[in-house]
Amino acid sequence: MSGLAAAFDPFEGPYQVDPAEALRWSRDQLPVFYSPKLGYWIVSRYDDIKSVFRDNVLYSPRNALEKITPATPEAMKVLASYGYAMNRTLVNEDEPAHMERRRVLLDHFMPENLEAKQEMVRRLTREKIDGFIDRGRVDLVEEMLYEVPLTIALHFLGVPEDEIERMRSFAVAHAVNTWGRPTPEQQIEVAHAVGRFWQYAGEVIEKMRADPDGEGWMHYTIRKNAEIPEIVTDSYVHSMMMAIIVAAHETTSLASTNMFKTLLTHRDAWEDVCADPSLIPNAVEECLRYAGSMVAWRRETTAPAQLGGVELPAGAKLLIVQASGNQDERHFEDGDKFDIYRDNAVEHLTFGYGSHQCLGKNIGRLEMRIFLEEMSRRLPHLRLAEQEFTYLPNTSFRGPNNLWVEWNPEQNPERANP
Ligand code: HEM
pLDDT in tens, the chain (418 residues): 589 999 999 999 999 999 999 999 999 999 999 999 999 999 999 999 999 999 999 999 999 999 999 999 999 999 999 999 999 999 999 999 999 999 999 999 998 888 888 999 999 999 999 999 999 999 999 999 999 999 999 889 988 767 667 777 787 788 888 999 999 999 999 999 999 999 998 998 998 899 889 999 999 999 999 999 999 999 999 999 988 888 889 999 999 999 999 999 999 999 999 999 999 999 999 999 999 999 999 999 999 999 999 999 999 999 999 999 999 999 999 999 999 999 999 999 999 999 999 999 999 999 999 999 999 999 999 999 999 999 999 999 999 999 999 999 999 998 876 5
**Ligand 1 pocket member 325 (CB < 6 A):** no
* CA torsion through residues 310, 314, 319, 324, sign: positive
**Ligand 1 pocket member 253 (CB < 6 A):** no
Cβ(211)–Cβ(219) below 8 Å: yes
Whole-number Å distance between alpha carbons of 298 and 53: 10
- H/E element, 215: none
DSSP class of 180: B
Closest to 179 in 3D by CA, of 400, 359, 394, 16: 394
Label the pairing between strands 40-43 and 32-35.
antiparallel
Distance 42 CA to ligand 1 centre (A): 21
DSSP class of 212: T
Give the atom of ligand 1 at the shortest distance from the alpha carbon of 105: 33
Q: Which CATH architecture has domain 2-416?
A: Orthogonal Bundle (1.10)
Name 214's bridge partners. Answer: none
**pLDDT at residue number 313:** 98
Whole-number Å distance between alpha carbons of 310 and 62: 22
Q: What is the DSSP string of 337-353?
A: S--TT-TTGGG-STT--
Cβ(105)–Cβ(90) below 8 Å: yes
Between CA 333 and CA 340, with CA 335 as vertex, the angle to 5 degrees is 90
- Residue with CA nearest ligand 1 atom 36: 356
Whole-number Å distance between alpha carbons of 49 and 325: 7
Distance 5 CA to ligand 1 centre (A): 29
**Ligand 1 pocket member 356 (CB < 6 A):** yes
* Long-range contacts (CB closer than 8 Å, 24 or more residues apart) made by 215-218: 215/158, 216/155, 216/156, 216/157, 216/158, 216/159, 217/105, 217/108, 217/156, 217/157, 217/158, 218/157, 218/158, 218/159, 218/244
**pLDDT at residue number 60:** 98
Distance 406 CA to ligand 1 centre (A): 32
Cβ(407)–Cβ(381) below 8 Å: yes
**Ligand 1 pocket member 90 (CB < 6 A):** yes
| Burial classification of residue 402, based on how many CB atoms lie within 10 Å of its CB (0-12 exposed, 13-18 middle, 19 or more buried) | middle
Closest to 197 in 3D by CA, of 318, 90, 83: 83
Closest to 234 in 3D by CA, of 191, 202, 196: 202
**Ligand 1 pocket member 397 (CB < 6 A):** no
Closest to 56 in 3D by CA, of 365, 407, 305, 388: 305
**pLDDT at residue number 1:** 55
Residues of the chain by 3-state class (helix, strand, coil), percent to 5: 55, 10, 35
Distances (CA, A) of 52 to 44, 135, 146, 195, 386: 11, 48, 32, 32, 40
Domain positions in the chain = 2-416
DSSP class of 382: -
Dihedral angle of Cα 214, 218, 224, 226, to the nearest 10 degrees: -70
Distance 350 CA to ligand 1 centre (A): 9
**pLDDT at residue number 418:** 59
Whole-number Å distance between alpha carbons of 381 and 402: 20
- H/E element, 417: none
Q: Which of 43, 52, 358 to mutate to test the pocket of ligand 1 (most atoms within 8 A of CB)?
A: 358
Alpha carbon 216 to its chain centroid, in Å, reads 21
**Ligand 1 pocket member 284 (CB < 6 A):** no
**pLDDT at residue number 116:** 82
Give the atom of ligand 1 at the shortest distance from the alpha carbon of 293: 19
Largest Cα separation within the chain, whole Å, is 66
